[in-house]
Amino acid sequence: MNQAFWDEMYSASPAMWSGEPNPQLVAEAADLPPGVALDVGCGEGADAIWLAARGWRVTAVDISTVALGRGAAHALEAGADVAARITWLQADLVDWVPDVASFDLVSAQFVHLPRHQREVLHRRLALAVAPRGTLLVVGHDASDLETSIARPPVPELFFAASDVAAGLAPGEWKIVVQQARGRTVLDPDGGPARIHDAVLRAQRA
């Protein structure tokens, strides 16, 4: 799943995602005062644009140049002031290291990697959060494998909010949210399906 893989995936259709911000980002970040944000695995940029429209200065990171190009174009459509608040950065999250203690919000929405790579990434993201800043990690809960929604049949790629919390340095973090949060979506046949998002929101001391 390197850059060529993701560029090909994005190039296969005019839009890979809905164009709407991820619901758990909206739920958890709407009450945060704007500051400096890091959007990890930003895809086509809906989350970064939503944050920038609310006054955040955003660094949006993705491995795919195709996705980043679409994000930049969508940001311009949202307005020059919005586009000016977003920096688009191409990087492979497996080996990319963000600046330490530099972001008031670090958001990783549905970034699924093998366990070792995921744990390394989560440690790096935690270190990137500034004092009193927020870490928000959201992923597909493993229970989704038992639904009619298509998910990669690789259990190792899934994690619980408690897994993320366990990797945070004791005494340095306040856990604000740690749960598998349910929501209803449409399955490939147009019927309702109940899925769950692993949601970890923590505030650095």
pTM score, two decimals? 0.95
pLDDT (0 to 100) of residue 150 = 87
18: number of CA atoms within 13 Å, CB side?
A: 6
Give Cα separations from 171 to 99, 102, 137, 167, 204 (angstroms): 22, 20, 19, 12, 9
How is domain 1-8+21-96 classified at the CATH fold level?
Rossmann fold (3.40.50)
pLDDT (0 to 100) of residue 19 = 87
Distance (Å, whole) CA 152 – CA 73: 30
Local confidence pLDDT in tens for the 205 residues of the chain: 789 988 899 899 898 888 899 999 999 999 999 999 999 999 999 999 999 999 999 999 999 999 999 999 999 999 999 999 999 999 999 999 999 999 999 999 999 999 999 999 999 999 999 999 999 999 999 999 999 998 989 999 999 999 999 999 989 999 999 999 999 999 988 999 999 999 999 999 9
Which residues make beta-bridge pairs with 41? Answer: none
Start and end residues for every CATH 3.40.50.150 domain found in the chain: 1-8+21-96
Q: Quick one: the chain helix, strand, coil %, rounded to 5?
A: 35, 30, 35
Distance (Å, whole) CA 91 – CA 39: 12
Say whether 194 sits in a helix, a strand or coil. strand
